[in-house]
Amino acid sequence: MPVTRPVAALLRLLAASVSAQAIVEVGTGAGISGAALLSGMSSAGVLTSIDIEAENQRVARETFAALGYDHVHTRLIAGRALDVLPRLSDAAYDIVFVDGDKTEYPTILTQAKRLLRVGGLVIFDNVLWSGRVADPGERDAETVALRDVATAVKADDDWMPALLTVGDGLLVASLRDRS
């Protein structure tokens, strides 16, 4: 499912607010969230989008082209996020937006901390999971992983987090200065 219009508007705002030059997106989908992030980035910015489905990236490439974003501003990588993220540069990104396999969210948080510059944002989509995260009786792997990532962000003083109820919930956290 693509992000909702309110989520897209917020992604655009967040990208603009940190003057994003480099963004990693996990879960390309049809390119809706990527287009929102691109529209908030600086004109020289580059979006690196990772998706396990090559077909999603084909559709996203068409979406980006239709909106006037050429290949210079987008880098689409087909593959599993947990295989690709370790190959990306440390402290080189302004935002890591995650809307992929929910069971990978806690591990992606660890990678995001390495990838982000100080002041950069990690943004996890669907963290309310249609109310399942708040129900302690829900114990499926995705729900547990969503709870785990929220707990990990809250417990780590390197993050300044906020849970936003836009869409199906966004967990947004800014990486604090570690010095």
Report pLDDT digits (tens) over 160-178: 999 999 999 999 999 998 6
Sheet of strand 116-125, all strands in order from the earlier edge strand to the far edge: 74-78, 46-51, 22-26, 93-98, 116-125, 170-175, 159-164
How buried is residue 123: exposed, middle or buried, by Cβ count under 10 Å (0-12/13-18/19+)?
Answer: buried
Return the number of other C-beta atoms located less than 10 Å from residue 56's C-beta: 18
Q: Is the pLDDT of residue 7 over 90?
A: yes
Does domain 5-175 fall under CATH 3.40.50.150? My reply is yes
Calculate what percentage of the chain has a pLDDT beyond 90.
Answer: 96
pLDDT of residue 179: 62
Would you kindly state where each structural domain of the chain is located, as residue ranges? 5-175
pLDDT of residue 56: 95
CA–CA gap between residue 86 and residue 70 (Å, rounded): 26
Q: What is the pLDDT of residues 118-163, one digit of tens each?
A: 999 999 999 999 999 999 999 999 999 999 999 999 999 999 999 9
